Structure 1
Amino acid sequence: MKAWRVRDTWLPQEQDREQIRVICKPCGGKGAIKNECRCRGRGEVLDKEKTDLQGVPVYSQCKRCAGRGYPRLKEAEIYAALGIPKSTWSRTYKLFFDRLVEHCHMEESSAERSLCKVTH
């Protein structure tokens, strides 16, 4: 007969463990974690402490995305989603991905400059 150890005591395998339902802290029981910030893409969040002190809304830079409006994906998440090993990611795809992100930032700033010219 097999046995397992539970908190410094040995229980035979036939005995059932007590099952406790616990809500996951990161997702709050929803089953998925969102990749969005509190800023919802704006890059700024309402600073509640400073707002309460001054009496007027005070906005500060979002700490999660550093004001970009979206959080950067971690390398581990990227190569896991692609289903490739870390070594293949770093040798083959990382440089391409970084340059693609850099190009997107340049195009975004170009579009923002064009919008400012039109609106101002």
Structure 2
Amino acid sequence: MKLGSVVKYHCPRSASPSVVSSPCSPDDISGTDIMAALGMTLRRAPLGYSAFCGKMNLSHQDKERTVRLLTAIGLNRSVFYPALRKLVDSERLAVIRVLANYAFLDYARSPDTELPCHACNSTGWKKGKRCSKCGGKGMMRAACKDCKGRGQSVHRLKTQMQGVPVYQHCQRCAGHGFERIASAVVFSAVCQVTESISQDTWNKSVKQLLAFLISELYREEAWAEKHLSVITK
């Protein structure tokens, strides 16, 4: 059983999880067994399971748990960063919380994620006219502007040479299909809680911790999926 199958068991309109065929056993897994398996996965891989559920908007509690657990990891990791180690405890905690929140937001992004339009301050209007950037909606999709969320774009030179469309990973979004959160946005948020971290220190050191926390979420999700697969064999 994969983590992607978890979503339907949290949706009240989905089919009842009474029977699920196990790929490794002739027996069926009952709904009670599935709930028990999810509970065991949460216990063994709390961060990965919570992060996935939070990303899929299954509950607000999962998002809060993810940020809390990720903050604890960030605090332990911060001892390797002199710029953070020299901060007072309360200030360092505030910075790590900011990093953990933005790490989760980046991890949970998809092409369909809606973002406030900065051109019109989410009002939908600019200088008395409908905002041309968001079309008056006040919100915009995070989908890459070049590949429109597909993750692939046409290689113009090879397409012209071969006479058929040749696709490549989108250069703008690196094949993700959506734009990542700019590090400048996170740095601006960090500056709201401390003035002890300069732009140079951010670029050379602290920004690396943000990247570590994002990658940690992906590693933990894979770890949770491995546990769930083993439990539901």
TM-score of the superposed pair, with normalisation by structure 1 = 0.44
TM-score calculated relative to the size of structure 2: 0.26
**Larger radius of gyration, structure 1 or 2?**
1
Higher relative contact order (CA 8 A, sep 6+): 2
- Specify which structure has the higher proportion of helix: 2
